[in-house]
């Protein structure tokens, strides 16, 4: 799958990570549930706790903890040095 990234102030490695829609959706869901669980009325909500466990299981299944190293490997394959991977994409066209 080819995807063009429009240049902006986002660093290159973050641009690659944002392309992993499944991972991003799960991280957003984790944050949403976590915020709900912070509310006193939801602290022990079994449905929210079960949903959070499913999110964690899905993150583990997709090996989300390895996403940064995979993104770095992709960028390296495209000729980005480790320092270039930390620079904004502004002024560059990146094709993934």
pLDDT of residue 3: 57
pLDDT of residue 28: 97
pLDDT of residue 6: 66
pLDDT of residue 92: 58
Condensed to tens digits (0 to 9), the pLDDT of residues 47-72 reads 999 999 999 999 999 999 999 999 99
pLDDT of residue 1: 45
pLDDT of residue 71: 96
* Residue-range domain boundaries for the chain: 4-95
pLDDT of residue 33: 96
Inter-residue contact 11 to 86 (CB < 8 Å)? yes
| Closest alpha carbon to 6 in 74, 94, 72 | 94
Low-confidence ranges of the chain (pLDDT < 70): 1-6, 91-96
Residue 41 tokens read as: 């009325």
């Amino acid at each position: 799958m080819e995807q063009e990234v429009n240049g902006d102030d986002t660093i290159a490695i973050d641009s690659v990570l944002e392309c992993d829609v499944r991972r991003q959706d799960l991280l957003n869901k984790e944050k949403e549930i976590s915020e709900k669980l912070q509310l006193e009325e939801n602290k022990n909500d079994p449905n929210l706790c079960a949903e959070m466990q499913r999110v964690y299981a899905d993150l583990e299944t997709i090996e989300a903890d390895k996403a940064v190293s995979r993104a770095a490997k992709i960028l390296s394959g495209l000729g980005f040095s480790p320092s270039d991977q930390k620079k904004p994409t502004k002024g560059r066209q990146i094709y993934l």
